[in-house]
Amino acid sequence: MTQVLASHAPPRAQSKSSSVSGGSSTTGRGPRLLDDGMAVAAIELDVTDLLQVTALLTREPDEREEPVRLLGLIRLVLVNRAALELLGWPEAAVRGLTPLSMFPDADRGAFLDIVASAGASDGVVRREGRMRRIDGDPCSVIFTARVSQRVGSKVRVAVQCTDLRGLRSAKDATADTVALQRTLFRNLPLGLCRVNGDRLSPFYEELGVDCDTDLAAFFGANPRLLERAADLCIIEDVNPEAVRILGAGSAEELVGGSVAFAWRSRPDVFIKTLIAGMQARNHECETELDMLDGGKRDIILASASVREDGRRASIIGMVDIGDRVAAQADLIRLQAQFAQSYRLSLLTELSSWFAHEISQPLVAIATMATTGSRWLEKDAPQIDEARHAFDRILSSAIRSRGIIDRLRCMAMNHAPVQAPQRMREVVTAAMQLVEGDAKAAGVAIATRLVGCDDCVSMDRAQIGQVVVNLLMNAIEAVDRSACVVREVAIDIVVDDNCVECSVSDSGPGIAASDVANAFAELVPGAAGRAGFGLTISRSIVALHQGTLTLDGTSALGGAKISFRLPRAQAAGRPPIE
């Protein structure tokens, strides 16, 4: 029967000597259980006697005993395990199962019509109906009936019974879910907006734009086309919070209109939203939104792409963070004031360190000047050696100037003046300042850049102070150790949102128990000879919305100090050289 139910080929006539349905006898009592492994309920019926009296089916169906009598003409030959499970019928009582017990009174006539129609033709009859479980409960199914065997006048019909209870439960659950979603859409305390982008598809096709197109570059070069794309994105629905965030008086002012007004100040964010929709992925960011009434609002935006029956739509979520942004601005000003007060309180202690720090390059200048003069006074002047000595003088002079500039910056009372800068350029400048110390300590400094767009909005002098401090810490750690490999590594790693700068050394490292204390106070030798402790460095990084972390071990064997800063916005970035 498995082959019969799985095939739509016309049934083949068999000889009278052939066995019917795997050898079941037409004279046996009760149906035989078929273990066919099918997941769909299936039965096989002998409808020979029913077809011989089909004329009786033309009578009026008012008499209740008529379907009962006709069902009695049908003999249940085979039933599979899936059918028993559907009916809740125990296997031990399978021989007591009859067609009469399988159908509710009101559905017997419909089932008779199905099997009679199937038995009288070689086609497939498919209709919806009901069966009756052993506990009396009706069970909605789809009947698929066709002739399985035709031997002379004897006819058998195979019927598949597809359970619809799960499907109807799923439909009911779907309806409940949709109603719940509508309730949540209206009452959630965040702005929700459904945007229809169906007209973007022919627009993209007209422009020859697809998933492989660099939309950011394309729309950057064609701003008017970006305006057209915005005009094609139509607001279908908004909740009350979205009406407030977008600065409208009512939902009617927004529904049916385009989203173009919201992105006038930040077309770059709109382009990212279009790219996410093109790639059928979600997008999240913090941005500034233009309001319908002409104002602006800081929000967290989340965009989810939805594809339904070929339609292109997006669900836009908006969280108003205007109060938080204002509080952050106040916090930055307070932190700047705190950092300035803290720096002034340290000037007294730093004076002795400054005297020591500045004395080193001054002594080096005097020594190298004397050495250079001696090289030139020889009978055969050693020009190369003298030039090397003078180069060291220049390096020491540059370092002295850097020390003085950094201490002057510490005493200045101002908040960070941030502008887009390349992290690699800041690191290069810092390496020039510590070059003499590194050579004196026999330490090699290597740099590595992963990624290319390392632009950060920063106060260059302050972040330069942090990098010099980390380099001096690393050089001192290696100088104090007896390690054979004397290396310091600077890694700049660029990811989607941040630029990370890390300084590792081959020194002795820091014990895990001492890592937490490294930020507690300024300790000579651990804080760095320039006088900037890790606490000050961390404060400077925090003022730039970044984080500074310390690891006691690194790939080189010593400590590793890293700080992460957010990448600058695309507008205003210096060109990559």
> 134: which 2 tokens?
């052993």
Q: Please tell me the predicted confidence (pLDDT) of residue 532.
A: 47
Q: Please tell me the predicted confidence (pLDDT) of residue 491.
A: 94
Q: Please tell me the predicted confidence (pLDDT) of residue 539.
A: 82
As annotated, the residues of the chain forming the CATH 3.30.565.10 domain(s) are: 416-577
Give, in words, the CATH class of 169-320: alpha beta
Q: Please tell me the predicted confidence (pLDDT) of residue 17.
A: 35
As annotated, the residues of the chain forming the CATH 3.30.450.20 domain(s) are: 2-163, 169-320
Determine whether 397 is exposed, middle or buried from the number of CB atoms within 10 Å of its CB (0-12, 13-18, 19+).
middle
Q: How do strand 296-308 and strand 138-151 relate by DSSP bridges?
A: unpaired
Q: What's the CATH code, domain 416-577?
A: 3.30.565.10
Contact 197, 313 (CB under 8 A): yes
Q: Please tell me the predicted confidence (pLDDT) of residue 359.
A: 66
> What are 41's strand-pairing partners?
161
Instruction: Describe the crossing of helices 534-543 and 460-480 by its angle, rounded to 10 degrees.
Output: 150
Q: Please tell me the predicted confidence (pLDDT) of residue 523.
A: 43
Q: Please tell me the predicted confidence (pLDDT) of residue 347.
A: 59
> 318: which 2 tokens?
């908006």
Contact partners, residue 209, CB within 8 Å, separation at least 6: 215, 218
pLDDT per residue of the chain (577 residues) written in tens, 0 to 9: 433 333 333 344 443 333 333 333 334 456 787 776 777 889 999 998 888 886 454 544 444 457 888 888 899 999 998 889 889 888 888 888 888 888 888 888 889 889 888 888 888 999 989 999 988 888 889 999 999 999 888 999 999 998 887 666 666 665 666 666 667 667 777 888 989 988 988 999 899 988 888 888 898 889 899 999 999 999 999 999 999 999 999 999 999 999 999 988 899 999 999 988 888 888 888 889 999 988 999 998 988 887 766 677 888 889 888 887 777 777 777 666 666 665 565 555 556 556 656 666 777 777 778 887 888 888 788 888 888 877 778 777 777 776 677 666 655 555 557 889 999 999 998 888 788 778 878 899 999 988 888 899 998 888 888 898 899 888 888 888 878 889 999 999 998 889 999 999 998 888 877 776 676 544 443 334 333 467 778 888 888 889 999 888 888 888 899 999 999 876 555 555 5
Output the 3-class SS for 166-188: HHHHHHHHHHHHHHHHHHHHHHC
Q: How far apart are CA 303 and CA 274, in angstroms?
A: 10
Domain made up of 2-163: CATH architecture = 2-Layer Sandwich (3.30)
Q: Please tell me the predicted confidence (pLDDT) of residue 417.
A: 72
Q: Please tell me the predicted confidence (pLDDT) of residue 178.
A: 60
**In Å, how far from its chain's centre is CA 103?**
52
